Chains A and B, each alone.
Chain A
């Protein structure tokens, strides 16, 4: 079997790490972790590049620029699998397919994702993945952070504030989609949403996750309580988090802040339509109960 040399950008982050682990266990790939500074050299010899940069908007833009610069004027055109996010759809409501125009009304993060996507899509042989909320072991925003909030009963059944749609995608499914995108033929230029079909509401997710964690009875969180969390406590707690990072502490001794953006997301009625990736990459999805069970085991370890 011909082996493919797969370069992974962002291998120090959750999706990149999981992809590197997965690549190590399969026989058709040789993994090359792209370190800072060696991107150009790494991609020039790669058969495929997975850009799994997340989090910092500046880093997302920077890596996209570097990747674009490395490949734009060369005849060597490896398959580029680029991770974007559902934030490129902005505050859209309703069911959203990949043809929906992008909107940068969700702040810096969505702006940088749109900027990165536009650059990457200028290359040939690209596949852009737009995952919803990645959950699973090591997934900090949607599993670790929320799990800690649930364990301390700071979120739970959020009533009207949790009626929005929770576009979950299990980390293993994200990895599977990336690996299939590396090898699939005739999908150059494609964009795929990644999210489980029939997603739960945020209330359903929070309640089921709380049950998996044993954080029961699940608390009904009032509007007043959420206002205190997001409008009074969020800023000082965030400052404490940043100070703790500066001081070299692994975590702030104070609880994690619940940002107002989290509540806005929980109210948003947008559903990612992932039928395209199901048909083109034959994706199948991890059941929510199974995913939550593994996630809870990891968090409670």
Chain B
């Protein structure tokens, strides 16, 4: 059932087996999985059914530019940030789990297969179709990404990214949670601390503040912190203000914070070749898009980070694109939510905006195109359950700007700490000092050059860019909003991480983390799918430790 924290009746106050803190992608997946196994679960959700401005204030903090203000790209409430996510679903690659000598602090203490086995089910939770990211298995009829481009072992051109509806987990799984006899979701219950039992290595109770401002406690056999990649270290720090923070004996908590970094540079120019640029539908009805990626061998050989290139659309603000649609979006940007306004403003390749008159001219001259776009926007986006992820408008000159998205080298100096300011519940707010390393800039620059060289070997297309400006441009890369990774990383020993291979917090025997905060490396993949896969894996582990067989449905 789902109830407000002030409406929980006395007879429903049974001690649950598992207390989950947070009802985002991880918390809801975990709750649904445990529900099917008959495990009694209580979920503490700080927000309500819908996000409010007060919720937003609870997660504000400070950050060093270019990292967004911490409340951006995050939401409290049932479903958490899935209420605003874009829906891109991409699994991690096997190389992301490897210890690579050219990427310091890389490697997971578990291997790819230990996560990959849960991806098919995670795809179901995300409504993203089958676990198949090859063009051949996913699209029919399948055509080449770049017509006539010869396949080679260096550059993978047959890979896709799939898109969720995007599924708002709060709406999608609300009925199941409401009907559930095993799961109780407590709304407006802000967890403010996890308290250890004196003289033991276990958490005795979670403390929360209910809607009426009353401080209350929940005892449970096991606790799972299923908050986002920023709120997770925040709670662990706030739970142990006298010490270093839970699981932080060796000063690892909050460090190695990564987002993906992105940039735009150069253009792919097909020499008359047809290019698969737009969104397509897979055979199982899911929107997908092509990407270009270096093979694992090439990454190792050339000491590259795992990254992806996508063919992009021109800068909205530059009216020379001659697109009525893009000019309309540019002119209407004040209607977009703040996060998307900021994307338009902070895109590193953005040039000085063209005068508004030029954009208005584009709009007036392109009314038929605009009408078509309006129809698409209405029927494929606003009214559709499976929404077209976003609008793609090809450049009028036939070239495709290149978008680059990369993993970051784990960096201990890139970190989340607590500031001195308190929120209304008395929790200290966060300060985020996100950093890129020189290795990141160097690897990104080399990736562009490699791409130009590999593509240039074929006559069907070429990549052009200003190599003299490349490094300087890569230095201006920006973090991808909403991807908060690594600040409570997984490691075999407490000296190197906050959680162990089962996502249990080092030094505590009954508390786990289900969050992108535990990812030791960031890949180039959006984190949600892997968050869900790890939550399913954790559910299986919890079933084992609570002696409830996974066969029980």
Residues of A within 8 A of B (CB): 94-95, 156-157, 159-160, 163, 165, 201, 203-204, 207, 210-211, 216-220, 222, 269, 271
Contact = CB atoms under 8 A, between A and B. Distances in A.
B285 A156 contact: yes
Contact of A218 (B165, B175, B284, B553): B284
Given A207-B130, A216-B140, A220-B385, 13 more contacts: A156-B285, A157-B127, A160-B172, A160-B176, A163-B176, A204-B124, A210-B284, A216-B285, A217-B285, A217-B286, A220-B285, A222-B385, A271-B553
Given A217-B281, A217-B282, A159 B551 contact: no
Contacts of A271: 553
Contacts of B172: 159-160
A210 B282 CA distance: 13
Contacts of B551: 95
A214 to B, nearest CB: 8
A204 B131 CA distance: 12
Contacts of A269: 36, 553
A216 B552 contact: no
A216 B173 CA distance: 26
B289 to A, nearest CB: 15
B285 A160 contact: no
Contacts of A216: 140, 283-285
B553 A94 contact: yes
Contacts of A157: 127, 284-285
A234 to B, nearest CB: 21
Given A156-B285, A217-B285, A269-B36, A203 B385 contact: no
A207 B282 CA distance: 12
30 contacts: A94-B552, A94-B553, A95-B551, A156-B285, A157-B127, A157-B285, A159-B385, A160-B172, A160-B176, A165-B553, A203-B124, A207-B129, A207-B284, A207-B285, A211-B284, A216-B283, A216-B284, A216-B285, A217-B281, A217-B282, A217-B284, A218-B283, A218-B284, A218-B285, A219-B285, A220-B285, A220-B385, A220-B386, A222-B385, A269-B553
Interface string B163-182: 00100000011011000000
A165 B552 CA distance: 13
Interface of B: 36, 38, 124, 127, 129-130, 140, 165, 172-173, 175-176, 281-286, 384-386, 551-553
Contacts, number: 52
9 closest pairs, A vs B, by CB? A218-B285, A216-B283, A217-B281, A217-B285, A220-B386, A95-B553, A271-B553, A222-B385, A207-B284
Contacts of A207: 129-130, 284-285
Interface of A is mostly: mixed
Q: Which of B165, B281, B384, B553 has the most CB atoms of chain A within a 10 A radius of its CB?
A: B553
Q: Which of A156, A204, A217 has the most CB atoms of chain B within a 10 A radius of its CB?
A: A217
Q: Which of A156, A160, A201 has the most CB atoms of chain B within a 10 A radius of its CB?
A: A160
B285 A95 contact: no
Nearest to B32: A163
A195 B552 CA distance: 16
Nearest to A197: B551
A159 B551 CA distance: 24
A157 to B, nearest CB: 6
A201 B127 contact: no
Contacts of A94: 38, 552-553
Nearest to B172: A160
Contacts of A156: 285
Nearest to A220: B386
A159 B284 contact: no
Contacts of B286: 217
Contacts of A163: 176
Nearest to A204: B124
A159 B172 CA distance: 8
A29 B552 CA distance: 40
A271 B36 CA distance: 11
A219 B552 CA distance: 32
A159 B127 CA distance: 8
Nearest to B386: A220
Q: Which of B36, B173, B284, B552 has the most CB atoms of chain A within a 10 A radius of its CB?
A: B284
Contacts of A219: 285
A184 B286 CA distance: 48
A158 to B, nearest CB: 10
A95 B551 CA distance: 8
Nearest to B120: A204
Contacts of A165: 553
Nearest to B549: A95
B30 to A, nearest CB: 16
A233 B124 CA distance: 29
Contacts of B384: 220
A244 to B, nearest CB: 32
Contact of A95 (B165, B283, B552): B552
A93 B165 CA distance: 28
A210 B384 CA distance: 21
A220 B173 CA distance: 17
